[in-house]
Amino acid sequence: MRAASDIPALARDPAAAMVAYNADRLGFLLRTARQLGPVVRLWSGLIMVTGTGEVNDVLRQTDRLFLNDRNFLLRKSVHRPGSPELAEWRARRRAALAAMTPAMLAGHQTWLAGRAELLTDDLLRQRTTPDVTATLERLTSASIARFCFGSRNADGVPAAAQEMLDALFPIFASPFEFPGYLRLVQPREWRARRRLNMLRAQLHASLTGAGAGGLADVLGSRQLDEQSAVSLLVSMHLAAHGVPAAALSWALVELARNPDQQELAAAAALSWDGSGPIPAVLGWLVDETLRVWPPSWIADRVTEEEATCGSWRIPAGFRVLLPFWVIHRVAGCNAPEIFDVRRWKDLTPPPGSYVPFGGGPRWCLGARFAHAEMTTILAVLLRHTQLSLRGQVRPDARRTLTPRGYELFVTPRQ
């Protein structure tokens, strides 16, 4: 077992390293992993883990040795091993997973296909779309609201979720993490708290309103109290609002950049009649998009006592960085930076090498929903459209990994 003192460290000054990181977050971490190996000390108290086995160990041991110690507001989490709060979080998670049945997902896909047809018509009328992600967010936010609330009125939820995400962006995009006493006086923190209260109020109104169906019925059958149900719904709406839209945007970008793969995916979409299983090629398309461009591209854990991953000892009190975008590129996949949906015909990634939804006990509970949602939307779009790009695509990694700097040109499929 290798001691903490054996972990390779950056040679440059921490302040200079931070400047380089903020100038090119993706490139900086990828170069560092390739130069120094699977476990690297970036600067004081921060270790990056990118090796397949080591990543798998960290994810599997989350909530035991590696703790997810911050919530989406970057505030201290109370989810400690053995705590009532962690037990309650697990109960909420089990309740949500109970709604991810094949029957519920299939029913939602039927509704979603109809909405995707309307989106396709709008794109064809506009021809050029300067902000594809924002356009897709309107559909994905309506999608998660409908899945959660069924026939209940959830018209105000998407806007409240967007306002919450807008308030969170300055917090996540900042390279600085302020201590708690300074956060209390920052306007961005006040704004985030106000928006969170507004989102919770909107979700509560939809949850308790007239109507039936969706996740709300499942939560009721599980006898989840309203406060716990609303907390779960906050997390689901923030995750399912912009992340799938970013992934779909990357899929459209890559299809536009790779006409041969666009035609392969379109042929699969044309073979689908709008019901039943979606062709495997479109699932491969989603998998490859999430491999090359995972929207939730980075996560972290913290050690409260000495922990091990692979053959390494990680000291207590260290934060462990898991950059999924980097992990996918150093995991041994053939030509990892080349977008090729066909690789998934025979590819079975080993544990820790493909982690767009995380892993272990914190594995994304909406993974099946997101996969079904994205394949459905892509199937409808590709049946009717041909895609090309204008401009230079650049990745924006300040929060959700999103393509920027381009326009999508959409024409009818001949």
What pLDDT is attached to residue 78?
63
* Torsion over CA: 242, 244, 247, 253 (sign): negative
Tokens 């398309």 label which residue? 285
Question: Are residues 68 and 301 in contact, defined by beta-carbon separation less than 8 angstroms?
Answer: yes
Token reading at 52:
């397949």
> What's the rounded mean pLDDT across residues 195-211?
94
Q: Which residue has the tokens 């912009």?
A: 242
Higher pLDDT pick, 189 / 105 = 105
Q: Which amino acid is residue 16, in one-letter code? A: A
Structure tokens given for 50: 């990118």
Using CA atoms of 350, 351, 352, 358 in order, give the dihedral in degrees to the nearest 10: 130
pLDDT digits (tens, 9 = 90+) for 358-414: 999 999 989 999 999 999 999 999 999 999 999 999 999 988 999 999 999 999 997
Q: Which residues pair with 412 in a beta bridge?
A: 385
Was domain 4-412 assigned CATH 1.10.630.10? yes
pLDDT at 184 over 60: no
CB neighbourhood size of 211 (10 A)? 15
Instruction: List CB contacts of 291: < 8 A, sequence separation 6 or more.
Output: 328, 333, 354, 356
For residues 47 and 43, give the distance between their C-alpha atoms in angstroms, rounded to a whole number: 7
| pLDDT greater than 80 at residue 52 | yes
C-beta separation of 324 from 297 below 8 A: yes
Bridge pairing between strands 46-49 and 319-323:
parallel
H-type helices in 174-225, by residue range?
A: 180-183, 187-207, 214-221
Q: Does the structure show a pLDDT above 90 at 159?
A: yes
- Cα(first)–Cα(last) distance of the chain, in Å? 61
To the nearest whole percent, how much of the chain has pLDDT over 90? Answer: 68
Q: How far is CA 35 from the centre of its chain?
A: 27
Residue type, 154: A
Q: Which of 17-21, 51-55, 362-366 has the highest mean pLDDT?
A: 51-55
Tokens representing residue 62 in the block: 């989350």
Q: Are strands 128-129 and 402-412 parallel, antiparallel or unpaired?
A: antiparallel
277-325: pLDDT as tens digits = 899 999 999 999 999 999 999 999 999 899 999 999 999 999 999 999 9
Q: Which of 73-82, 196-205, 266-275, 338-347 has the lowest mean pLDDT?
A: 73-82
CA 122/CA 238 separation, integer angstroms: 25
Nearest by Cα to 236 from 368, 77, 118? 368
Residue 182 has pLDDT above 60, yes or no: no
DSSP secondary structure string for all residues of 322-369 = EEHHHHHHHS--SSTTS--GGGGGT--PPTTS--TT--GGG--TTHHH
User: Is 147's pLDDT higher than 50?
Assistant: yes
User: What count of Cα atoms within 13 Å lies in the side-chain half-sphere of residue 352?
Assistant: 20
Residues 6+ positions from 57 with CB-CB distance below 8 Å: 308, 309, 310, 352
* pTM of the predicted model as reported, rounded to 2 decimal places: 0.93
Average pLDDT value for the chain: 90
Output the pLDDT for position 176: 47
- Residue 122 pLDDT > 70, yes or no? yes
CB 97 within 8 A of CB 232: no
The answer to whether residue 183 scores a pLDDT higher than 70 is no
Q: If DSSP codes are grouped into helix, strand and coil, which group holds residue 277? A: coil
Residue with tokens 């018209």: 155
Token pair recorded at residue 244 = 């799938």
The CA radius of gyration of the chain, in Å to the nearest whole number, is 21
User: Which among 393, 118, 359 is positioned nearest to 246, based on CA atoms?
Assistant: 393
From the list 359, 315, 307, 304, the residue with the least C-alpha distance to 67 is 304
Assigned token pair, 101: 């049945």
The residue that leads in pLDDT, 332 or 368, is 368
Q: Which residue type occupies 409? A: F
Whether residue 244 has pLDDT greater than 90: yes
Alpha-carbon distance of 135 to 35, in angstroms, equals 39
